[in-house]
Amino acid sequence: MARFLVTGGGGFIGGHLVHHLLARGDEVRVIDDFSTGRRENLADIGGDIELLEEDIRNPEAIQPAFAGVDYVLHQAAIPSVPRSVADPVRSHEANCTGTLNVLIAARDAGVKRVVQASSSSVYGSNPDLPKVETMRPMPISPYAATKLMQEAYASAFYASFGLETVSLRYFNVFGPRQDPTSQYAAVIPIFCTRLLEGKPPTVYGDGEQSRDFTYVDNVVQANLSAAVAEGGAGQAFNIACGERLSLNELLDKLRPILGTDIEAVYEEARAGDVKHSLADVSAAREVIGYNPQVDFDEGLRRTVEFFVNLAE
């Protein structure tokens, strides 16, 4: 049994991490100010975790949560490319300054390893596919720039202080409990909800933009493996499935599952959005033992089932 601290544990991915850790018998602390996280993600396990309701931008407030912790899974952030375009300062403060505070607290507490959430968006306008970690990052949104800075701080803390860090570049994570209500929500929960409501989903651009959609259980496995892997300190790894699907193809898969023929509404592409995304995950497999178990179709089936049950 180990003691984990999950920052952003009330978020979509953070909540899944907390549930998995508890299920296998670990001790779990959570830091979340619930500015983007949701209390309902932790409602069924509230009595089983230590919860510190604080903002990672406040170093003095979060420092006590790191005492006696073995591993930190740093998920707290202001997510979303469009949100960062609308308010780049807030994204910087949470994602960069907040991460610096987390790393300092982890260093001072003698934490064994920090695993942090980065993003495939760091590749930005680099046109080469698949994305390989050795590629030059070319961020085209403030969000992507903040994630690249997070990675730089993490590797610098390993080089300067010996704090072991691993950054995981998530590719379009989806799954149950993902919030479809925000204007910045991810595409799969939005599409599911709109189609279930009998309304046309909105596609920004021509719908031919493609993504390497990654079911959330695979991301959980990546975090837990990265925390204890012998190698990988100071490095960043792609976390995905190594397959890509266009938004039009996604809709073609969703319609028969949901029994609808509703067509999408197409609007102008959004600033900062990447056209195509596809990951090479061989480094994550070899170095941190990443082994995705849930393919896209099975993940989509589980996700749709969740939203259907939610709507009933």
Annotated active-site positions, please? Answer: 143
Beta bridge partners of 30: 6, 51
Structure-derived torsion over alpha carbons of residues 207, 145, 35, 41, reported in degrees to the nearest 10:
60
Cβ partners under 8 Å of residue 149, min gap 6 = 95, 96, 99
Half-sphere exposure at residue 195, Cβ-oriented, CA atoms within 13 angstroms? 25
> Rounded to a whole number, what is the distance in angstroms from the first to the last CA of the chain?
39
Q: How far apart are CA 283 and CA 232, in angstroms?
A: 9
Count of beta carbons in the 10 Å neighbourhood of residue 192: 25
User: Are the C-beta atoms of residues 115 and 169 closer than 8 Å to each other?
Assistant: no
Q: How do the residues of the chain divide into helix, strand and coil, expressed in percent and rounded to 5?
A: 45, 15, 40
For 215, the enclosing helix (H) or strand (E) is strand 214-215
Dist. CA 90–CA 238, nearest whole Å: 26
- For tokens 């049950």, the residue is 309
Q: Torsions phi, psi of 73, nearest 5? A: -110, 100
